[in-house]
Amino acid sequence: MERELLLARLADELMRRRVPHTLRVAVDGPDAAGKTRLADDLADRLGAQREVIRLSVDRFHQPAAVRRRRGSLAPEGYYLDSFDHDAIVGSVLRPLGPGGDGEYLPGTYDHRADEPASPRRQRARKDAILLFDGVFLLRPELRDFWDVTLYLHVEPEVTLRRALVRDLDLFGSAAVVEQRYRGRYLPGQALYRAEVRPLDRADIVLDMSDPLVPAILRWRDDGEPSGRG
């Protein structure tokens, strides 16, 4: 399906989902799968009709000392220690969910400065849509709090090929990019897939091998929100 047609179908799907609180949507998938771009494009489509809240797991990192305590290239460290899941639940998903007051924090940690962030609390409308992108969003600590879950699938070699372009400035050389992905990020994602099986669990699964022509691998079209918390 061409990207614009897919975005239109996704937007229609989210608009028809009705819950008595902010609709909490996870856009999950491995590194460089296209999560941020897809969530941004969806936000542009939905924003004319509903309030849209755009957040990312990147605003909820753990401190560097926690992220690297198993070693800078440890896959387990990437999967288990990268993000503050308690903060995501307590600062975003519970307040925007059933019985919540609608006040949320858009982030808790600035990982580039390696220091806590102190943004002001914001209030969401009950009919707002939260588009939250990031890795590992269907892990046990988070998965029951989403109302709709998307998983963007790409093969590991596609992730690496894209990362060699996207992350070159961040890491300084192609050799370092490849070292970090083959040593930490790709095996960390493999741990996640083995434990959580996100391709089987997500409501909607898209193959993003060609970002201009995504392929639908799964679409649970039952209209029922998947979150419970």
Which residue range forms the structural domain that includes residue 22? 3-219
Question: Is residue 224 pLDDT above 70, yes or no?
Answer: no
CB distance 58 to 111 below 8 Å: yes
Number of domains in the chain: 1
Mean pLDDT of 87-111: 97
**How much is the pLDDT for 31?**
97
Burial of 57 (0-12, 13-18, 19+ CB in 10 A): buried
Kind of pairing between the strands at 103-104 and 52-56: unpaired
pTM for this prediction: 0.94
φ and ψ at residue 69, rounded to 5 degrees? -65, -20
**How much is the pLDDT for 111?**
94
CA–CA separation, 24 and 54 (whole Å): 11
| Residue 28 falls inside a structural domain | yes
CB distance 152 to 41 below 8 Å: no
**How much is the pLDDT for 227?**
52
CATH number of the domain residue 42 falls in: 3.40.50.300
Structure tokens at 30: 């491995």
Question: Is residue 226 pLDDT above 70, yes or no?
Answer: no
Question: Is residue 118 pLDDT above 80, yes or no?
Answer: yes
| Residue 229 falls inside a structural domain | no
Average pLDDT over the chain reads: 95
CA–CA separation, 60 and 32 (whole Å): 18
